[in-house]
Chains A and B, each alone.
Chain A
């Protein structure tokens, strides 16, 4: 019965409500964000395939990089500010911000000589 609530109870309810809404905040943000596209790239023999994945300009995306080699690799893109170690056999899921049209290069830092690629935003 809300009429008989003491001040303290009301405060508690208020606090509880605040905490709950704080907890729900990420859910609300996640619900608002539109479902990003997924780009799949695999690493085999220290090479990326596809080496030039395409993404729609202005749309957020997730890059899923699977390392099929038996050695770790560091997926790195200066332009996209991404740096992520991918252990052997592991799959990395990396957030890519909405991009202006263009070419965004990435490399495998541990095998710089051969591991090259670029995201094409168009």
Chain B
């Protein structure tokens, strides 16, 4: 039961925190709940599908299918987060202004919602497939009773959901005019962390033989398995033992997204402002 609780909790907070940030980032956008809901639902279905095909995926690309598949999913999420932030940089000012004027009624485009629905979907997909595989594995080996496992899983789900909700509630207390800045900062770090994970997976598959040695080891301070470690891992991509390539990819993701946000600030915003009037 404890094992089920720990694993479900761990995977839920990873997916849940991402969903929480997305919800905070889209506060005031009409029908965002629907889109995020679609993303979570699609992710859940996909997770079951992936778990069912785990054997076949693993066998792809000479046994490295799993890494490359996961890395692909992460890169997709990074791309979507970057797109969202760049879009927000060009439209955010208008949106923030309108939020102050008419409360929560913001006429937002649908584009970043699809991007963020995909982000939620892939987060749930990745973490969910591990839950499914684990629960199946425990159930099949018959070491725990099904009831105990279900109880553990439910508690883990509840705990993870509560923590994610706290995160969301904390974020929405940020005043609206700062909210975009805070959430776009969070999303940049989130994206950088995901990109660093992607590169680690590609290295695990043996495809990138550069900068593989560990740069520092801060596991004595904050271990990867501790609750705090998991939280900062999801939020800002913390790893106790990062290697050179992970750090390089982490930093360059930040630079690229922040640079793109600066490159495309005003032009589309003008068009949008003209349209919304």
- Could you tell me which A residues sit within 8 Å of B by CB distance? 26, 29, 33, 46, 60, 62, 69-74, 78-79, 81-95, 97-98, 109-113
Interface magnitude class on chain B: 35 or more
What's the dominant secondary structure at chain B's contact region? helix
In the bound complex, do residue A81 and residue B243 qualify as a contact, i.e. CB atoms below 8 Å apart?
yes
Known: A78-B225, A92-B58. A97 touches B137 (CB 8 A): no
Give CA–CA (A70, B200) in the complex, Å: 28
Known: A71-B140, A109-B7. A85 touches B205 (CB 8 A): no
Hey, which chain A residues are within 8 Å of B143, CB to CB? 111
Known: A72-B54, A90-B55, A111-B141. A85 touches B133 (CB 8 A): yes
Give CA–CA (A51, B133) in the complex, Å: 23
In the bound complex, do residue B213 and residue A92 qualify as a contact, i.e. CB atoms below 8 Å apart?
no
Determine if B3 is an interface residue (Cβ-Cβ < 8 Å): yes
Hey, which chain A residues are within 8 Å of B67, CB to CB? 84
Q: How many residue pairs, one in A and one in B, have C-beta atoms under 8 Å apart? A: 85
Determine if B98 is an interface residue (Cβ-Cβ < 8 Å): no
Hey, which chain B residues are within 8 Å of A72, CB to CB? 54, 133-134, 136-137
In the bound complex, do residue A74 and residue B3 qualify as a contact, i.e. CB atoms below 8 Å apart?
no
A-B pairs with beta carbons under 8 Å apart, 13 shown? A72-B133, A72-B137, A74-B130, A78-B219, A78-B223, A78-B240, A81-B239, A85-B130, A87-B58, A93-B62, A93-B206, A95-B205, A111-B137
In the bound complex, do residue A97 and residue B54 qualify as a contact, i.e. CB atoms below 8 Å apart?
no
From A73, A79, A84, A113, name the one whose CB has the most chain B CB atoms within 10 angstroms: A84
Give CA–CA (A70, B58) in the complex, Å: 16
In the bound complex, do residue B243 and residue A93 qualify as a contact, i.e. CB atoms below 8 Å apart?
no
